[in-house]
Structures are given as C-alpha cells and as structure tokens.
C-alpha cells in the first residue's frame, strides 16, 4: 500500500510518501505561486506526485491513495476547492484534475486544519484516542475535530471553525465580521497586535529592546520579555493565556475530547505557555465529578501534520 499526502498552501506545495506507520518516507516541495493560475498549480501537484513515485520506484497507477490538504472552504464530497483566498481559487475541481493528470483512482481532499487534526490523531499528540481536537495558533486560530479517525465538520463540511467562536461579545474586531472571536485574541496575529499596543502604552518596557534584538515584533516578543520580568510583557502574556484558556475550556465543555492538542508557532513556547495555561484551565473547567477531563498537549508533528493527515483521509 503506497500512500501520498499533499499539502497545498498559499506559499508552498509539499508532497510526501507516507509509510504504514505514518512516517514520511520522502518529501518534495515547490513554491505555489498561485498568480500563475489554478491549472498551473494543479499541474505542479501532479508533477511532484509523479516525481515522488519515480524516486520511490512506484508507478502512479499503483498509488493506493492520495490525499490533499488545502486551505479555505473545501467540499470533500465533490472534491472541489469552493473558495480559497490565498490560492485565488473558486469552485475548482482539484481532485478530478489530480486523478486525471496522475492516473490515480483514489484521491480525496480536506480542509488543511482538519487534515492536520487528523494527522495528530493518527500519528501525533492524540494518537490512540477516540475523540480529539487540534487547535492551531497561527495567522488565525484553526481547528479540527476528529471522531474515530474521521474528520467531523458537520452536514455541510464547514464546522470546526473554532477560531470564530465569540468569547468576548462586542470585543476586538475579527476578519469574519463579528467582534470578540477567539481568533481575535489567541492567534499569533492577535498576540503581535496586543504586543504592539503594550509597546505604545509603555515606552519604558523591555518589549522594545526584545523587538530590536529580533528585528521585528513577533509572537515570541512578549514571551521573551516576560521571562526577563518586564511588567508590560507579563500583562500581555497573562491576557493572552487567559483568553486562550477561555476558548479551550469552552471547547472542552462542549466536546470533551480525550486530548486537545495545540499547534502553530505559539506552541513552540512549550512550558512557558503550557504551565500557566493549564493552571488557568484548571481554574475555569466545569466540575462534573465524573473523573478526568480532557488532556491538553502540544502538537507533535509540526508542519508534517497536514501531509500525514491527508494520507489518512
């Protein structure tokens, strides 16, 4: 059984062969350059798949499964990318094109956040669980909900929009048009915005020095300055952890997955994030008197989660 995972992103297309044990055998990639047009992107995916097969000594017709992870509104039933802003795609039949260009019968597609959650469920932080949620703290707050090795995304495949759960009605504006979405507080983008606000309010803060050392304000700035004891940075991290915990407790109260794993750039903070986060979650969790609650873990597979998940669709 030879399986392929494809991770189609706004900047890069990655393609990998995946072993029975869900390890990456070989990986190839190329820039996406979506401005070339949708067909050119699909042709590049096909080219990489054929190259991968050649390198692994396999005929494309012997590929038992290829799965694609892609951003935006995806219809896994029709195989269309319905809407993906950063790929400049609308109603594009990517699955049929890849089938035809490569001669592979079994090709599926899923939203990239859902595919990453599936990757963590089959081979990462949530391996061996029945129910798991993965939250990705990046440009936005992505999420995926896995039940028994399958993505759950509701009747129209658009569920799992964890980032667009309002936790602070009337609060910070979100790209989706609502105010107070979790994403407006817990994405890396939001953390950078809150860090900039604190820098403006506190010209004396160590945040300025850290930003100068790094050459930019990033999701790391507040965490680094807080470890140096800076008061403004500590307040930013406190606020960030508090809102992150708020959203996580909401998800747990609703879904009680065995494991909720946290991925994305911010998760690289490790214990600096996880220890205060777990404390805050323990304070807020609904006490039901029925034994243990969801375990919070850092995601394990990094950027490979989507590729491994895609191969398991």
| Binding of a second copy by 92 (CB under 8 A) | no
| Binding of a second copy by 128 (CB under 8 A) | no
| Binding of a second copy by 288 (CB under 8 A) | yes
Pairing of strands 259-263, 131-137: parallel
User: How far apart are CB 248 and a second copy at their closest, in Å?
Assistant: 11
| Binding of a second copy by 109 (CB under 8 A) | no
Beta carbon nearer to a second copy, 159 or 302:
159
Q: Which of 2, 65, 92, 157 binds a second copy (CB under 8 A)?
A: 157
Q: Which stretch binds a second copy (CB under 8 A): 95-103, 120-128, 161-169, 266-274?
A: 161-169
Half-sphere exposure at residue 251, Cβ-oriented, CA atoms within 13 angstroms = 33
Q: Which of 25, 101, 166, 193 binds a second copy (CB under 8 A)?
A: 166
User: d(Cα 271, Cα 277) in Å, to the nearest integer?
Assistant: 9
DSSP state of 266: G
DSSP state of 290: S
Q: Which stretch binds a second copy (CB under 8 A): 3-11, 152-160, 220-228, 269-277?
A: 152-160
| Binding of a second copy by 148 (CB under 8 A) | no
For residues 10 and 89, is the Cβ–Cβ distance under 8 A? no
User: d(Cα 141, Cα 144) in Å, to the nearest integer?
Assistant: 10
What are φ and ψ of residue 246, in 5° steps? -55, -50
For residues 121 and 149, is the Cβ–Cβ distance under 8 A? yes
| Binding of a second copy by 278 (CB under 8 A) | no
Question: How many chain residues touch a second copy (CB under 8 A)?
Answer: 54
Q: Nearest-CA neighbor of 120 among 189, 52, 182, 69? A: 69
In angstroms and rounded to an integer, the radius of gyration of the C-alpha atoms of the chain is 20
Q: Which of 131, 198, 206, 273 binds a second copy (CB under 8 A)?
A: 131
Chain positions contacting a second copy, by CB under 8 A: 73, 75, 82-83, 129-131, 145, 147, 152-162, 164-171, 176-178, 180, 242-243, 246, 249-251, 253-258, 284, 286-294
């Amino acid at each position: 059984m030879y399986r392929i995972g494809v991770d189609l992103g706004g900047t890069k297309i990655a393609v990998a062969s995946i072993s029975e044990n869900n390890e990456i055998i070989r990986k190839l990639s190329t820039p996406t350059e979506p401005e070339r047009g949708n067909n050119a992107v699909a042709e590049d995916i096909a080219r990489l798949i054929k190259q991968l097969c050649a390198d692994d000594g396999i005929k494309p017709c012997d590929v038992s499964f290829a799965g694609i992870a892609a951003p935006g509104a995806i219809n896994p039933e029709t195989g269309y990318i319905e809407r993906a802003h950063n790929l400049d795609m609308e109603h594009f039949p990517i699955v049929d094109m890849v089938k035809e260009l490569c001669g592979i019968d079994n090709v599926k597609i899923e939203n990239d956040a859902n595919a990453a959650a599936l990757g963590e469920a089959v081979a990462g932080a949530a391996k061996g669980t029945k129910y798991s949620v993965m939250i990705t703290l990046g440009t936005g707050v992505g999420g995926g909900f896995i039940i028994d090795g399958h993505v759950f995304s509701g009747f129209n495949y658009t569920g799992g929009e964890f980032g667009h759960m309002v936790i602070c009605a009337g609060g910070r504006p979100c790209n989706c048009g609502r105010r107070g979405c979790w994403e407006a507080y817990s994405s890396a983008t939001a953390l950078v915005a809150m860090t900039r606000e604190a820098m403006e309010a506190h010209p004396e803060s160590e945040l300025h020095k850290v930003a100068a050392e790094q050459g930019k304000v990033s999701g790391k700035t507040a965490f680094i300055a807080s470890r140096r004891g800076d008061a403004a940075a500590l307040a930013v991290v406190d606020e960030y952890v508090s809102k992150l915990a708020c959203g996580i407790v909401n998800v747990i109260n609703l879904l009680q997955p065995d494991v909720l794993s946290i991925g994305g750039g911010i998760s690289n903070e490790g214990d600096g994030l996880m220890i205060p986060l777990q404390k805050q979650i323990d304070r807020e969790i609904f006490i039901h008197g029925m034994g243990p609650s969801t375990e919070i873990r850092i995601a394990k597979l990094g950027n490979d989660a989507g590729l491994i998940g895609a191969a398991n669709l």
